[in-house]
Amino acid sequence: MSTFRGSHAVSALGVGTLVAAVIHHGTEIGAVSGAAGPLLALALDGGIAVAVIVTGRRIAARDLSPTEEWRVARWAAAGTVLAVGAFAATLAVRVAEGRPLVEPLFPMLVAAGAGSLGGATAGYYAVRQAAEARRARDAVRAVSFVNHLLRHDLRNDLSTIHGYADLLAAESDGDDHAAVVAAKADEGLDRIEATSAVADAILGDADSSRVDLAETTRGVLASVADGESTTVEADLPEAAPVAANDGVRSVVHNLVENAIEHGGRDVTVRVAVRVGADGDALADGVAVADDEVALVVEDDGSGLPPEIRDGSFFADDRSAADPDGGVSGLRLVATLAEAYGGSLAPGESPLGGARFVVTLPHAPAGSTGSDT
């Protein structure tokens, strides 16, 4: 036995309006000369009623729960009541003014049908939007749960590996294999912490803390040694605290790696950090506000990538995780900068290549948050 659902209620509104229109205009045909007028009127209000019936059937064909269907039905009923009520109010005004009412039922049927149709349509899109928002919240919760689960389990596994590597190193003489395993375990732990911080920042779960951008940059550059075809120059202050989390390391790492990868052979990469409160905040043509810290990464390579030069990079809404090389890294940098309350700005470097400036909120010693 089928259950009466909200879609049936919507169709019932249309059927009721259609029956009323047929009866009303059927009596008109015998009361007036000629059937053209009543039939034309029936085509109007009856056509709207048929559209309401079809809308109800289409709602039934959608994958909506009974609760969602009844929500659409309530919207349709509310639209009918509002439209009929508004029209009835105009009739009341005309009566109060002493004006005669000429065939009020026809426009009232049109108003009822239009109100039902508009209410059902608005209700359907409201339900769909709510469902999409709910799915988005569920997806965020799922990603956040997986992030914390992987962080916990992988950290435990790597800590166990590190412990066994220490035991092997103590039992072996002159064998550096255990040391390599321990070093790789430490590197994996650092990578997990950085990745977790990135995920927390993107998901909005990160607690703001004071991170020394200058010290973080020194750590990243220490792992990027000058090669035969790469020269890295650094201009860093003693300290540059920003309001962020450990994901700042990914910001620095991706910008430096992007400059090295796209700069070409014999590229020179210059990395600088500017604190807005310092007197040299305007050095190299980089303007920094008093409450900001800027990370400047530039090179003498071939210049800005085409996607950034023509602006399509900023218009494209693909995920920062898309495997498209350096552009993917820049997407991640832009996303993290925005999550921290900062920004990423591309430009041309005086060296002849590309320049990227990331501005982040300054976090002086008296600000809230813990040091990391």
Domain match, 262 and 131 both:
no
pLDDT exceeds 50 at position 320:
no
What is the CB neighbour count within 10 angstroms for residue 146? Answer: 11
Q: Does residue 119 lie within any of the structural domains?
A: yes
Residue 290 lies in a domain: yes
pLDDT of residue 288: 81
Judge if 24 and 62 occupy the same domain.
Answer: yes
Residues 241 and 353 reside in one and the same domain = yes
Residue 263 has pLDDT above 80, yes or no: no
pLDDT at residue 206 greater than cutoff 70: no
What domain range is 63 assigned to?
Answer: 1-206
**Three-class SS state of 211:** strand
What is the residue-averaged pLDDT of the chain?
A: 80
Distance spanning both ends of the chain, measured CA to CA: 64
Out of 88-97, 178-187, 217-226, 319-328, least confident range: 319-328
- R_g over Cα of the chain: 34
Map tokens 């939007």 to a residue: 129
Higher pLDDT, 163 or 267: 267
pTM of the model: 0.52
244-256 pLDDT tens trace: 888 888 889 889 8
Last residue of a domain, one of 154, 186, 206: 206
Task: State both tokens at 144.
Answer: 């956040």
Q: Band the pLDDT of 24: cuts 50, 70, 90.
A: confident
Q: Does 75 share its domain with 191? A: yes
**pLDDT at 98 (0 to 100):** 85
- Token digits of residue 357: 């400036």
Confidence of residue 76 (pLDDT cuts 50, 70, 90): very high
Question: Hey, what are 66's tokens?
Answer: 């009974």
Distance, in Å, from the CA atom of 372 to the CA atom of 247, rounded to the nearest integer, reads 11
Q: What is the pLDDT of residue 208?
A: 67
* pLDDT exceeds 50 at position 324: no
Domain boundary among 206, 233, 267: 206
Q: How far apart are CA 103 and CA 95, in angstroms?
A: 13
284 falls in which pLDDT band (50, 70, 90)? low
Name the pLDDT band for 193 (thresholds 50, 70, 90): low
The one-character DSSP state at 101 is P
User: Are 316 and 332 found together in one domain?
Assistant: yes
**Lowest-confidence region among 7-21, 78-92, 337-351:** 337-351
Domains: count for the chain: 2
User: Read out DSSP for 223-241?
Assistant: TS--BTTEEEEEE--S--E
pLDDT reported for residue 323? 41
On the question of pLDDT at 191 being above 80, the answer is no
Angle value at C-alpha 223, between 220 and 227, nearest 5 degrees? 120
As to burial, measured by CB atoms within 10 angstroms (0-12 exposed, 13-18 middle, 19+ buried), residue 27 is exposed
pLDDT single digits (tens) 110-157? 999 999 999 999 999 999 999 888 888 777 776 666 666 566 556 666
* 199: number of Cβ within 10 Å: 19
Q: What percent of the chain has pLDDT over 90?
A: 29
Q: Report pLDDT for 277.
A: 65
**242 and 161 in a common domain:** no
Asked, for residue 367, whether it belongs to a domain, the answer is no
Predicted pLDDT at 319: 44
Q: Is 99 inside any structural domain?
A: yes
Lowest model confidence (mean pLDDT) among 16-25, 135-144, 247-256, 270-279: 135-144
Tell whether 101 and 187 lie within a shared domain. yes
Residue 371 lies in a domain: no
Looking up residue 287, the CATH number of its domain turns out to be 3.30.565.10
Do residues 239 and 92 share a domain?
no
Same domain? 198 vs 225: no
Nearest C-alpha neighbor of 14 from the set 64, 68, 59, 54: 54
Note whether residue 366 is domain-resident: no
Shared domain check, 228 and 169? no
pLDDT > 70: percent of the chain: 72
> Do 121 and 149 belong to one domain?
yes
Of residues 179 and 316, more confidence is placed in: 179
Q: Residue 18: inside a domain, yes or no?
A: yes
Asked if residue 372 belongs to a domain, the reply is no
Give pLDDT, residue 144: 65
Look at residues 206, 234, 260 and tell me which one is the last residue of a structural domain.
206
**What is the spatial distance between Cα 70 and Cα 5, in angstroms, rounded to a whole number?**
7
The two three-digit tokens of residue 255, written as one number: 């910008």
CA 349 to CA 255: how far, in whole Å?
A: 14
CA gap 86, 366 in Å, rounded: 60
Using alpha carbons only, give the angle 191, 195, 196 rounded to the nearest 5 degrees. 115
Of the candidate ranges 49-63, 72-86, 149-163, 296-310, the one whose mean pLDDT is the lowest: 149-163
**Stretch 217-224: mean pLDDT, rounded?**
83
**What local confidence, expressed as pLDDT, does residue 318 receive?**
46
How many other C-beta atoms can be found within 10 angstroms of the C-beta atom of residue 317? 6
Q: What is the pLDDT of residue 202?
A: 65
The residue ranking higher by pLDDT, 307 or 85, is 85
- Clarify whether residues 147 and 119 are in a common domain: yes
d(CA 351, CA 345): 17
